[in-house]
Amino acid sequence: MPDQDLINRIRTIFLHQRPHVTLAEATVLLGWSRGEMSRAIAAGEVEVTSTAVGKWLWREELMAKALELWSPEVIEEALGAEAEGVLPEAVRLIDLHVRLPRHQVAMLEVFAEREQTSVSSVLARELDGLASAHADDLSWAVIGFADALAWPEGAAGAAN
Name the helix (H) or strand (E) containing 49: strand 49-51
Vertex 128 angle, CA 124 and 134, to 5°: 140
Residues 6+ apart with CB under 8 A from 1: 77
Q: How confident is the model at residue 52 (pLDDT cuts 50, 70, 90)?
A: confident
- Strands 54-58, 20-22: pairing is antiparallel
Task: Identify the pLDDT of residue 60.
Answer: 92
Strand order across the 54-58 sheet: 20-22, 54-58, 49-51
pTM: 0.82
Bridge partners (DSSP) listed for residue 51: 54
Q: Sorting pLDDT into bands at 50, 70 and 90, what band is 158?
A: very low
Distance CA 111, CA 92 (A): 23
